[in-house]
Amino acid sequence: MAGILLFGGVASAQNRPLTEDDFYKIITIPSPEGLELEVGGLAILPEGNLAASTRRGDVWMIKNPYMLNNSMPSYKKIAEGLHEALGLNYLKNKLWVTQRGEVTILNDLNGDNITDEYQTFYKWPLSGNYHQYSYGPLEMPDGDMIFTLNLDWIGRGASLSKWRGWMLRMTPDGKMTPWATGLRSPAGFGLNKAGDIFYTENQGDWVGSGRITHLEKGDFAGNPSGLLWSGEEGSPVKLKVSDIPDTGEPLYDVAKRVPGIKPPAVWFPHTLMGISLSDIIESGNDGKFGPFDGQMFVGDQGHSKIMRMYLEKVNGVYQGACFPFREGFSSGILRMKWGIDGSMFVGMTSRGWSSTGKDKFGLQRLAWTGKTPFEIKTIKSMPDGFLLEFTQEVNKETALNPESYELNSFTYKYHHFYGSPIINSMKLKIKAIQVAEDGLSARLVMDSLRLGYIHEFKLEGVQNKANQPLLHNVGYYTLNQISTVAPKLDVVKYAVKEKVAAVDHSQHANMPKTDAKAANSAKRIVVMPAEWNGVVDQTIKIGTKPGLKFDIDKIQVKAGAKIRLQFNNNDDMLHNLLILKPGTVDKVGMAAFELGLEGATKNYVPDLEEVLFHSAILEPETSETIYFTAPSKPGNYTFVCTFPGHYTLMQGTIRVR
Amino acid sequence: MIKSIFASICILFSVSVFAQEGSDFPMQKLPQENWQIQGSKWETAGNVVLNPLNTKKSVITPGNGILVAKASSGVLSSGLATQDIKLKFRFVLGAGADTRFNLGNGIAVLLENTGKTSGVTGSISIDNGKIITPLADAGKSVGLWQTLELVYSPAKTASESTVIEKLVLNGLTIHENVFISNQKASSVNDKFTFDNQQGFFAVKDFEYLQFGNNKPVSLSELSYTLQETNGFDRSFEAKATPPVSGKTPVLSYDVPNDYNRYIINFKGKLKVDEAGKYAFTMDYQGAGYLKIDGKQVTGSKEWTYREPMTGMIDLTAGEHDFEYQYQTIFWRPAMGLFVSSGKIRPYALHVSSSLPLPEMKGGVFAEPSGDKAQLIRSFVFFKDKKRTKVISVGTPQQVHYTFDLDNAALLYAWRGEFANVTDMWLDRGEPQVIKPIGLKTELSGRVPFYANGGSPLDSVDVYREFINTSYSLNDQGLPKFNYKWKNSTFSLEYTPSGSDLNVSVNASDYNGFSILLDQGQEIVKIENGLYQVDDHYIKTDPKLKPEIISAGKSKQLVTGLNKQLNYSIIW
Ligand SMILES: [Cu+2]
């Protein structure tokens, strides 16, 4: 701020575009040098203390984590020797920790605040697979506790020992009931005010994209591995592995045919809304965290950010929308807990997986500044479209202009493959708009509503009364049921004007759906140019490695040389390769991210002159060879992957000399 | 100097002389006639059971195979020249023993337990009086047989260094690539000798491999065929693209081609100058095989990232058909082939550009700091299987153990450094196993309790019957493990005592139980209250009188459990 005042005075500070930081501050809670605080679990303790369990198996008590008046926190180890402690809670005046193979109560018998008795509350068998992570407890209103168990990973998800892939419910005296299955990597779960359970799932086999599913007793959420145990005593799930079709149809459609499959309440489109969902917590109703009372916040490990989710119940079924909220955390977010002041503690680790926040671990706190951001507060289902509520009064002219909006719907395949492409994407047309008298909401009537589909809202043109744009102008609503409570809108009265020969908004959706792989474009030559006469000066091979890395970070080429570059995607994720002018990687990386839904058809390559050459976006274990003439001007050029979330880590240098 | 180090470093970066377990070269036994016993104070024996408490009560059975020095017996020469060699022997020390294993040129390995400051077993003494202490005190307790393995390369000229490439004591590497300069050139007259200066010492099973520097195996007439493959499918189906073929003077993946993934198949002649048993070691990232005369020697269809695979084959002198196939997967191509035998160190048959140096990781290690024990919970490999509910306890006294919580079973006890946790805490930690670092002994790993009148249990239901209820920590941070079974409660505590581990067992409410103290291939009662179980001792109250019973091929040491029982493990 000081710098801004110095150069431009107060006025320029007010005129600059507002950022997330103006509304929600990230405060780092420093930890002593040498402490590997790879947070697996967080618990709020009495007297303003915080406890963190770690992947290395320690539990730390953190005093003064709020650091008021710029004071320092202090750390004390209060337990150790736990096996990858990914769940921690303070219940019934005790710390409860979930290890890989058991739930343990930490007792302090002599009152020195250090655990001296580790009491086994409940245990389950383990296969010895690293992916057998276990999480919990979450306390239910009646005092029962909820736990979840990850699947094994053997090149695909598998349940190699009993109850992997399940959610378990336990009474305070240790009686266990299997609750639901179909889970793959259920690192986060939480309750809403009604006491209903929601869990977050990561993209993977049978999971086209990240999502949140409401789990009732006996539900099956989609990954069949856990069904191995559905015949066991106490199982409330009746489905068998063989009941699950592997057709690639949308999960919602399969669920209509196969009772017992539970479609998600909200899909989080992969890369647009994170890549690996983690914790989920619901905001209180006290207004301490800004204008989103009762909404849920969802962490993302790979993208080091927190998203926001609004849920509504329509015809007894949960559904709703997700929105961007706050990015820029220091490591991969795994845990979120409300502090006593209504701020949010965020515990992080990214070891073994990478995250856009580059630190290996971290602990931060997110606090509301008291300013209300201009945001889409909710999206609600209406019989003929949606109602969008805003946190601030809109400029009605912008909200009534159909060109302020861009709407699409799409879904994913349900199949045994890892992830899914976006399928059945369709541009939606607005037929009518009504803006509320108070300017706080807008009703949109559109030409198509599809059940089970994600409805994308992009509100680039909507402004508030101060003519400021939305802080985040996108939201993704998953439509499981169409609400018929409100009357339909009078589409004649509120019809939008059809602009003749106006900018054709549908152009990108109508783009010829050519196979991106086959195209030869000026920047992507996949066949050796004839004028080279079969002569290549230099062949370069670049591969990818797990953890968002290329297998080489420096390459040297001669200026003007004819280059054949073979790009091998050896990883289990999508990647591309772009060659950029020196020093332009941030601009290009961000522009690629901004492509949004269009990204996939454009290979995540923004149309910028800074991009010199590029490959297609490559599926795992595929490759592409491109041909180009090295720049004539010597310098350090960049090669980078611009798949959303990758560019900050996945870079290398091509030195032209 | 530089030249000699360079030569040695080349050896380091190739395949180790210690081949993989199970595929080691059969070593040559040194015949008893070689030992120059006559005129020395050394004797031969058929068996030695040392009593560690009183050497005089030891049982020495007459016979052959073991060379015994009862006290101050002086020098015994092996008659084996101190040349480029790998050797291995077993030895046992009585209390206060001090024997030097001389490597020639004034260099000796000290085999002693005098407690003198000059060093511990495994120290290297140089004739200028300097002592090179080992990386760890890997010496076993008095009376237990120990194993020493050495790879040694004496200076061939006065300007070269003598290199102790590797010295392994009881499975722990205690010296690696120690360069000793300012030596005389070694002489053929220098022999390996033992010099017993004081105390009881015995040695047996002396074996060796002598290395020449010739290269008796070579490749010629190499040609290759390269076929593009269809993705990374494990089926490795070939695409419709035409194969590329040609001749090559060297074995290298780097032949001209436009393909990303491919199978390259080399065929040629393997020229063998000298008949014998040879080991071929493939090192690559991908998949592949080696065939000689049409027979697969080594390799795997599994995708392998730089894990050398060795196979052995008897070859006659002359030419043999050679076939090497290599399949690129998704890693950068890298492939190599080494040959070795009982007479030559491994050397490469590929060109060095075909196989870059492997990437090494620094690792993560745990060591208790302060005055309390450190606890780490993990998986661990035990008798080739993963145990998954395991806690390891590291103490400031440097006596550590690993315990199976489910089965109330001690798995390992060791002393020295605590644990290598790289496989748990580096990257995802996929194996998720802890590795003890120090001098380790393995225990039975079985449920210790069983009802009187029965026999030790093979397994027990650890979820519904035999329940680990908790463990609590004492003021040293040492856990006491608590169990419930058949309306009784049990507890187990392990406490370091000197270099031993004391075990304390408590049972309450009911005394109808027996306990399995230990199990081994061989259990020998040394005297009342002292039992040797394979590579360690169990020491009990002399009045306890546990029973040795047979259980299949193994022996068990069992006793009734009367509320309270203490014993210790000595190794
Ligand atoms: Cu990428």
pLDDT digits (tens, 9 = 90+) for B323-350: 999 998 878 889 999 999 888 988 999 9
B85-118 b/e (C-beta count within 10 Å ≥ 16 → b): bbbbbbbbbbbbbbbbbbbbbbbbbbbbbbeeee
- Do the Cβ atoms of A623 and B261 come within 8 Å? yes
Q: Please compute, for residue A420, the number of CA atoms within 13 A of its CA located in the half-sphere on the CB side.
A: 28
Chain A / chain B CB contacts < 8 angstroms = 89
Strand partners, B513: B451
- Which pLDDT tens digit goes with each residue over B344-383? 988 999 999 999 888 888 899 999 999 999 999 999 999 9
Q: Give the pLDDT score at B232.
A: 57
A229 neighbors A241 (Cβ within 8 angstroms): no
B332 contacts chain A (CB < 8 A): yes
Q: Are A250 and A452 in contact (CB under 8 A)?
A: yes
- Name the token pair of A274: 């994170």
Distance CA B349, CA B269 (A): 12
Of A223-227, B234-238, B425-429, least confident by mean pLDDT is B234-238
Confirm or reject contact between B497 and chain A (CB < 8 A): no
> In Å, what is the CA distance from A233 to each residue of A178, A223, A463, B157?
9, 20, 57, 77
Residue to substitute from A118, A150, A164, interface B, most B β-carbons within 10 A = A118
The residue of chain A with its CA nearest to that of B376 is: A81
User: Across chain A, what does the average pLDDT equal?
Assistant: 91
- A117 CB near a chain B CB, below 8 Å? yes
Taking the CB of residue A406, how many other CB atoms lie within 10 A of it? 23
Cα dihedral sign, B294-B300-B305-B309: negative
CB-nearest to B430 from A117, A130, A625 is: A130
Vertex B320: Cα angle to B319 and B324 (nearest 5)? 130
A423-444 pLDDT, tens per residue? 999 999 999 999 999 999 999 9
User: What residue type is assigned to position B298 of the chain?
Assistant: T
pLDDT tier for residue B22 given thresholds of 50, 70 and 90:
very low
Asked if A145 and A170 touch (Cβ cutoff 8 Å), the reply is yes
| Long-range pairs of B316-321 with CB within 8 A, sequence gap ≥ 24 | B316/B272, B316/B275, B317/B272, B317/B273, B317/B274, B317/B275, B318/B271, B318/B272, B319/B269, B319/B270, B319/B271, B319/B272, B320/B269, B320/B270, B320/B272, B320/B292, B320/B293, B321/B267, B321/B269, B321/B270, B321/B291, B321/B292, B321/B293, B321/B294
pLDDT of A131:
95
Which chain A residue has the Cα nearest residue B461? A125
Per-residue pLDDT reduced to its tens digit, A472-525: 999 999 999 999 999 999 999 999 976 554 444 444 433 333 344 445 578 999
Residues paired with residue B268 on neighbouring β-strands, in sequence order: B322
Whether the CB of A253 is below 8 Å from some CB of chain B: the reply is: no
**B352: distance to nearest CA of chain A, Å?**
20
* CATH number for the domain whose boundaries are B217-354: 2.60.120.1560
| Contacts A115 to B, Cβ<8 Å | 473
- B367-570: what fold? Beta-galactosidase; Chain A, domain 5 (2.70.98)
Q: Which amino acid is at B368?
A: P
pLDDT level of residue B257 (50, 70, 90 thresholds): confident
- Are residues A568 and B330, on separate chains, in Cβ contact within 8 Å? yes
Whether residue A621 lies within 8 A of chain B, CB to CB, comes out as yes
Within 8 A of B479 by CB-CB distance, chain A residues are: 118
- First-to-last alpha carbon distance for chain B, in angstroms, is 42
Same topology between domain B217-354 and domain B367-570: no
Distance CA B474, CA B481 (A): 11
pLDDT recorded at residue A521: 78
- Which of B232, B386, B427 is closest, CB to CB, to A621? B232
Angle at A218 between CA A214 and CA A219, to 5 degrees: 35
3-state secondary structure of B433: strand
Compare all CA atoms of chain A with the CA of B233 and give the residue at the minimum distance.
A621
Q: What average pLDDT score do residues B486-513 get?
A: 91
A346-360, A462-476, B238-252, B432-446: the lowest-pLDDT one: B238-252
Residue B194 in tokens:
């033992």
- A99, A128, A621 member nearest B386 (Cβ): A128
For chain A, say whether B391 makes contact (Cβ under 8 Å).
yes
- Distance CA(B390)–CA(B353), nearest Å, equals 44
How far apart CA A388 and CA A444 sit, in angstroms, is 8
Q: What is the pLDDT of residue B5?
A: 34
- Which residue in the block uniquely carries the two structure tokens 């024990």? B373
Write down the residue that tokens 């047309």 correspond to: A429
Could you tell me the distance, in angstroms and rounded to a whole number, from the CA of residue A502 to the centre of ligand 1? 37
- For residues B19-24, give the mean pLDDT: 47
What CA–CA distance (Å, rounded) separates A329 from A335?
Answer: 12
C-alpha A597 – ligand 1 centre gap (Å): 17
Q: How far apart are CA B150 and CA B169, in angstroms?
A: 9
Mean pLDDT of B97-107: 93
Q: What is chain A's length?
A: 657
Taking a C-beta distance cutoff of 8 angstroms, is the pair A39, A52 a contact? yes
Residue owning tokens 């990850």:
A150
pLDDT of B165 higher than 90 = yes
Which CATH fold would you assign to the domain B31-210? Jelly Rolls (2.60.120)
pLDDT (tens digit per residue) in A216-226 = 999 999 999 99
DSSP state for residue B271 in the 8-state scheme: E
Contacts of A466 (CB under 8 A, 6+ apart): none
Q: Write down the pLDDT at residue B317.
A: 96
Whole-angstrom distance, CA of residue A19 vs CA of residue A8: 18
The backbone torsions φ and ψ at residue A542, rounded to the nearest 5 degrees and listed phi first, read -125, 130
The predicted pLDDT at position B4 comes to 34
For chain B, domain boundaries? 31-210, 217-354, 367-570
Residue of B260, B359, B400 for testing the chain A interface, max A β-carbons within 10 Å: B260
Read off the tokens for A285. Answer: 């109703």
**B472:A352 CB<8 A:** no
Q: Is A120 on the interface with B (CB under 8 A)?
A: yes
* Interchain pair B377, A119: CB under 8 A: no
CA distance B277 to B316: 9
**Chain B residues with CB-CB distance to A119 below 8 A:** 469-470
CA of A585 vs chain B CAs: smallest distance (Å): 26
**Domains along chain A with CATH numbers:** 31-123 (2.40.10.500), 376-499 (2.60.40.1220), 516-656 (2.60.40.420)
Note the pLDDT of residue A508.
Answer: 40
Give A645 or A211, the one with higher predicted confidence: A211
pTM for the model: 0.85
Residue B184: the pLDDT is 76
Side chain identity at A571, as an amino acid letter? D
For B330-448, strand residue ranges (E) read 335-341, 347-348, 365-366, 374-382, 385-394, 399-404, 409-415, 419-420, 435-436, 439-442
- With bands split at pLDDT 50, 70 and 90, how would you rate the model's confidence at A154? confident
More confident residue, B31 or A649: B31
H or E element, residue B235: none
B374 at interface of A, judged by CB pairs closer than 8 A? yes
CA angle centred on A465, ends A461 and A467, rounded to 5°: 45
Comparing alpha-carbon positions, the chain A residue that sits nearest to B257 is A539
Q: Which tens digit of pLDDT belongs to each residue from A180-212?
A: 999 999 999 999 999 999 999 999 999 999 999
Please tell me the predicted confidence (pLDDT) of residue B39.
83
Q: Which of B375, B425, B468 sits opposite A120 (nearest CB)?
A: B468
Are B427 and A566 within 8 A, CB to CB? no
| Nearest CB neighbour to A352, from listed B258, B331, B427 | B427
**Phi, psi for residue A632 in degrees, rounded to 5:** -80, -20
Residue A15: pLDDT band with limits 50, 70, 90: low
The verdict on A490 touching B (C-beta cutoff 8 Å) is no
Picking from B130, B83, B122, the residue whose alpha carbon sits closest to that of residue B103 is: B83
* Distance from residue A76's CA to the centre of ligand 1 (Å): 39
Tell me what pLDDT residue A488 has. Answer: 95
**Residues B121-148 pLDDT 10s:** 999 999 878 899 999 999 999 999 999 9
Place of tokens 């002649």: B269
Average pLDDT over chain B reads 90
The counts of H helices and E strands in chain B are: 2, 43
The residues in B 431-460 lying below 8 A from A, measured between CB atoms, are 431-432
Q: Which residue of B234, B303, B377 is the best one to mutate when testing the A interface, meaning the one whose CB has the most A CBs within 10 A? A: B377
3-class secondary-structure state, position B114: coil
* Element containing residue A2 per DSSP (H, E): helix A2-15
Hey, is the C-beta of A94 within 8 angstroms of any chain B C-beta?
A: no
Contacts of B294 (CB under 8 A, 6+ apart): B321, B323
Contacts of A57 in chain B (CB under 8 A): 376-377
| DSSP run (H or E) holding B156 | none
Q: Which candidate, B135, B185, B188, places its Cα nearest to that of B159?
A: B185
